[in-house]
């Protein structure tokens, strides 16, 4: 990481839900930790404060939410806070909306703003869909709230100076939705030395949402354990979200509560313990902007079953098994291959570890690339 400046660099990060334990939030956490080692001053403005992190990670509450009654108040607060920073790094909708409001107020009051950068994990799926076909469908909506929200969002994005995308897939969708160019900088993970344990279960970690397609992973697992040979294998599902009750109902209806365990929130330490003892990570999402847990699986000497629609598939090469995640039988067959073929698991892990190194997927490299681009485009 190079810092070509004689004064301390100050970066403001605007992200609505830093307190969650998702891929975007963990990437911010890891990036901040890397930057702090280089004496960079960082403040994270968020509605969801993250607990259990170091005191050196400075967080401030800001009502970054879809609440028109507080839009102006929050925008004014953020404007007053960020004017003394060198850069603003925006993460995740609706932070883009607030940048548009900040820009408007600053222009009216003739206030100079810091250079702005958006690390785009994906344009809002609810507003724009996840690909060109669903985007075209979203343009026909008659939902007045969605229409107005899009106007605010577009106003924010058009006034951001530079855009980073977390994958070529996201880069393409940014161009489709906003007509703007972006630079791909892949997400990354903290480097931890992990020793592989004997595999004993399958594992999913992430948000429990409908597009994550966890139902098909459960149906595949249910078919697996109907075979006496595999009846004692467990499937741990870590995380929470709006689809959790439907997942519980499915598990109950299949009567597999003893084999499928919902862990709720887990710590990073617990996550890596689950990963290193897994036959593989299951990531059956119908669409996934990137999929950082696949990289964490590789570091844990574990492979993954994923969809070609995941952004990480761009760099996965031979380090994963690709399944038709819309067909639970395809997931099931992939699981059988993973369990029964130890040499296949070893080969996939070897290729996965190569992917990490070849694509510089450790956090200091990622943080360095972001900072270099900020410093290069600061004027």
pLDDT at 378: 82
Quote the pLDDT of residue 219.
Answer: 98
Residues 48-107: tens digit of each pLDDT = 999 888 999 999 999 999 999 999 999 999 999 999 999 999 998 999 999 999 999 999
Quick one: pLDDT at residue 309?
86
% pLDDT > 70, the chain: 98
> What is the fold of 10-189+362-376?
Rossmann fold (3.40.50)
pLDDT score for 308: 87
pLDDT at 100: 97
CA dist., res. 138 & res. 305, Å (int): 30
Q: Which residues contact 331 (CB under 8 A, 6 or more apart)?
A: 216, 217, 220, 282, 284, 305, 323, 325
Q: Give the global pTM.
A: 0.89
Mean pLDDT of 149-154: 96
Specify the pLDDT at position 6.
55
Q: Of the CATH numbers 3.40.50.1240, 3.40.50.1820, 3.40.50.2000, 3.40.50.300, which one belongs to the domain with range 201-358? A: 3.40.50.2000
For the chain, the domains span: 10-189+362-376, 201-358
DSSP type of residue 189? B
List, for residues 346-363, the tens digit of each pLDDT value: 999 999 999 999 999 999
Identify the pLDDT of residue 333: 97
The chain-wide mean pLDDT, for the chain, equals 94
CA 152 and chain centroid, separation: 23
Does 201-358 match 10-189+362-376 at the fold level?
yes
């Amino acid at each position: 990481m190079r810092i070509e400046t004689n004064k301390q660099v100050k970066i403001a990060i605007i992200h609505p839900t830093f307190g969650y334990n998702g891929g975007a939030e963990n990437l911010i956490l890891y990036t901040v930790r890397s930057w702090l080692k280089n004496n960079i001053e960082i403040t994270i403005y968020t509605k969801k404060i993250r607990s259990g992190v170091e005191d050196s990670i400075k967080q401030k509450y800001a009502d970054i939410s879809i609440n028109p009654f507080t839009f102006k108040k929050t925008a004014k607060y953020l404007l007053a806070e960020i004017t003394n920073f060198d850069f603003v790094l925006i993460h995740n909708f609706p932070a883009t909306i607030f940048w548009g409001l900040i820009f408007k107020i600053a222009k009216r009051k003739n206030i100079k703003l810091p250079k702005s950068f958006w690390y785009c994990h994906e344009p809002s799926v609810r507003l724009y869909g996840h690909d060109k076909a669903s985007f075209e469908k979203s343009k026909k909506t008659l939902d007045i709230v969605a229409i107005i929200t899009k106007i605010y969002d577009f106003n924010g994005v058009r006034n951001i100076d530079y855009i980073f995308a977390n994958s070529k897939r996201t880069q393409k969708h940014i161009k489709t939705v906003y007509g703007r160019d972006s630079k791909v900088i892949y997400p990354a993970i903290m480097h931890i030395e992990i020793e592989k344990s004997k595999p004993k279960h399958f594992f999913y970690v992430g948000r429990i949402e409908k597009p994550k397609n966890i139902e098909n992973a459960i149906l595949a697992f249910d078919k697996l354990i109907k075979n006496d040979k595999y009846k004692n294998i467990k499937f741990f599902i870590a995380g929470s979200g709006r689809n959790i009750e439907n997942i519980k109902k499915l598990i109950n209806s299949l009567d597999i509560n003893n084999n499928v365990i919902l862990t709720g929130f887990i710590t990073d330490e617990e996550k890596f313990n689950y990963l290193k003892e897994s036959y593989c990570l299951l990531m059956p999402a119908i669409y996934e902007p990137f999929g950082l847990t696949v990289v964490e699986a590789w570091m844990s000497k574990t492979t993954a079953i994923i969809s070609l629609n995941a952004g990480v598939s761009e760099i996965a090469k031979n380090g994963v098994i690709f399944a038709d995640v819309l067909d639970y039988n395809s997931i099931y067959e992939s699981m059988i291959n993973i369990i029964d073929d130890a040499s296949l698991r070893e080969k996939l892990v070897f290729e996965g570890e190569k992917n990490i190194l070849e694509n510089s997927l450790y956090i200091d490299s990622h943080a360095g690339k972001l900072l270099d681009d900020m410093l290069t485009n600061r004027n």
